[in-house]
Amino acid sequence: MSAALSHLQQTLNLYHILPSEAWQAYQACCTTKKLEKGEILYPLGQKPTSLAFIHQGLMRAYVIDENGNEYNKNFFAEGRFPGCMSALLKNEASVLAIQALQACEIIEINHVKFRSALFHHVDLMKFQIRYLETHWLLEKEPKEIGYLQYEAKARYVKFLENYKTILPRLPQYHIASYLGITPTQLSRIKREIKES
């Protein structure tokens, strides 16, 4: 088994330990791929057919407004599953783009095959439920509420907590974009924190 598949299996087992049959079904949905830094895995306006698992590298999900400004919605490092989930579920063009911020080694997971396997293997369903609970409810909900409630400085402090493991790998302008502020505003906030 490749290092990437072994990493994927270990990650899946953190949510629910998959018996051999379920793991084989999951593997049948997978293909490995390498991306260059800056390469867009899932472009805006296109229908995606897969989601990904990051074995090595760093990626971002972003949107572009009508003026061409980019806004980062999320960052994904090793062990995470970036994808345009709403577009996949609705079979629509994506309003999100996913881009490699570093050279990446990923596993692409064919969505149609995975959905079919999901309904044939209860253990894959258990994995999916635990994954969604962890990342789409327990993790995402507080982030969205905090974004509405907190000023930029408080959002930055929260960002430092949530993304501390990948902070050295993120350019400042990407952090500013995520927080909805300019790089100049971010520099000012960082200076205020340092001086306090």
Give the tens place of pLDDT for each residue, 67-115: 988 999 999 999 999 999 999 999 999 999 999 999 999 999 999 999 9
Residue 136 scores a pLDDT above 90: no
pLDDT in tens, 170-187: 999 999 999 989 999 999
In this predicted structure, the answer to whether residue 148 has a pLDDT above a threshold of 60 is no
What is the CATH class of 1-121?
mainly beta
What distance in Å separates the CA atoms of residue 83 and residue 4, rounded to the nearest whole number? 18
Task: Give pLDDT, residue 23.
Answer: 97
Question: Distance between CA 105 and CA 102 in Å, rounded?
Answer: 10
| Beta-strand relationship, 50-56 and 104-110 | antiparallel
Report whether pLDDT(156) > 70: yes
pTM: 0.90
Neighbouring C-alpha atoms within 13 Å toward the C-beta of 159? 26
- pLDDT tier at 193, thresholds 50, 70, 90: confident
For residue 46, the Cα-to-chain-centroid distance in whole angstroms is 18
pLDDT at 37 over 90: yes
**Sorting pLDDT into bands at 50, 70 and 90, what band is 194?**
confident
**Using 50, 70 and 90 to split pLDDT, how confident is the model at 140?**
low
Phi-psi label, residue 160: left if phi above 0, alpha if psi -120 to 50, beta otherwise: alpha
